[in-house]
Amino acid sequence: MDALVHIPTSMAKRPCPFASSSITTIAAAAASASASTPPRSARLPTMDSLLQTFLDLADSNPLSVDLSFERLLDSAPGDPDQSLLIDRALKLGSLLVEAGKRSARKRSSKHNSLTWALPPDLTIKVFSMLDTQSLCYAAASCSMFHKCAMDRFCYSNIDLTTVVPKVNNAVVSTMIQRAGKGLKSLKLGIVPGPNVSPGSCQPLVYSIRNSVDVSNFSWNEKKTRQGKESSVLTRSCLYPLNRDASAAGTLLRRLHLYNIERIDNTALSGALSACPSLLDLEIVGLHVELRQTLVSVSMNCPLIERLFFESSKSGRDESLKSPTCVDLVNNCPNIKSLALRGFKLHDCKVRILVKGFRKLKYVDFSSSYSITGIFLRNLGSSTGGNLLEVLILRDCMHLKEVEVVRLLTSVLAGDFKSLRHLVGVLLLTYQIGKV
């Protein structure tokens, strides 16, 4: 500090419009402070006075301050001393900036606590309705909001889906730990964009390399760099769900995973084993096999009501076997909504599923190869399938005309009394009529 406020003995250099009285005052204060070393309590007023003098310089002409600092540098005996002066100036500036920020946060928190109309419990309730990103913004605004935003009730529904990779395993782990056993919904991964809603007929399988929405994203960001966390989720991103005895997945109701390339069947199965209360499972673009995934669901998720599964390699996965379908029907009898899109499915296996689930109301086999429509025969009048409200067979290239005609005849005969939406089949009928 003494070196920083040193007044050069020679003032023969450029004239300065800056009033030298402030510098003289600072030097005098510094000299007085260094003349003796009184107790800390006695030194505080001197430090306060010196700091006040520095703060008074904030309204000075920047050029004047620059010229004064240059003269201080010129008065230094050598280059090391000049470097020391610069370092001290930067350090002092940094200390003042941080002190100002801390004081501003304290004042904002005090102001918010006095003017914020809601008590903490209602604030937490409001925060619990925010999306995850908005909640993080609120937590960073002031200490009062931060305290409310740390309540685990605010993290019962975690949505970390993004258009480009921005989330890594550490972020997911932190959020899940904050939620604890209060976690009810978890959504992770990369979604194609805001115009595509999960569950729609538009493909959700997504490739970053082919996307037009990532002009500001470098593919190299996917790679872990030294000293920098990767922004890519790996196969271990779901480990916090079953990390210990009080696993966060115990009461999880909804799990949606989108285009997480590195998750495999082992990692997915481990996650599902920690989620016995799961009601809604949505899997899109993961490199996992259909048969093994359905086996995991059958073994671990007896309460599941909605299963949405879209293949990452459309038309190439034909791993599904009839025993797997039977086990799924027997072990998961509450399924009301079933979507298997982009898989190579045969009518015999599809029929087991559609007829087996007695509560089934929604079916989507879009882009499913090998389906001819035979599974639709006598479906509406049987004990299974007669509750169907939505039937989607979009882009099923092997769907036969004769089966479509039989289905429509059954609909006209009143067999499908609950049917409200028939997609894909009607499009094919329109094309047949044009021919």
In the chain (435 residues long), the average pLDDT of successive 10-residue segments reads 42 42 45 48 67 79 85 86 87 87 78 75 89 87 84 91 88 90 92 56 51 40 45 87 75 94 91 94 93 96 96 81 95 96 92 92 90 85 76 88 85 82 64 46
Supply the pLDDT for residue 203: 55
Give CA–CA dist 98/96, Å, rounded. 6
User: Of 210, 305, 212, 200, which is closest to residue 255 (Cα–Cα)?
Assistant: 305
Residues facing residue 369 across a β-bridge: 344
Cβ neighbours of 152 (radius 10 Å): 16
Two structure tokens written together for 52: 């006040």
Task: Tell me the whole-structure pTM to 2 decimals.
Answer: 0.69
CA torsion sign for 115, 118, 119, 124 is negative
C-beta separation of 319 from 291 below 8 A: yes
Give bridge partners of residue 228 from the DSSP assignment.
Answer: 225
**pLDDT for residue 205:** 62
pLDDT at 425: 62
From the CB of residue 372, how many other CB atoms can be counted at a distance below 10 Å? 15
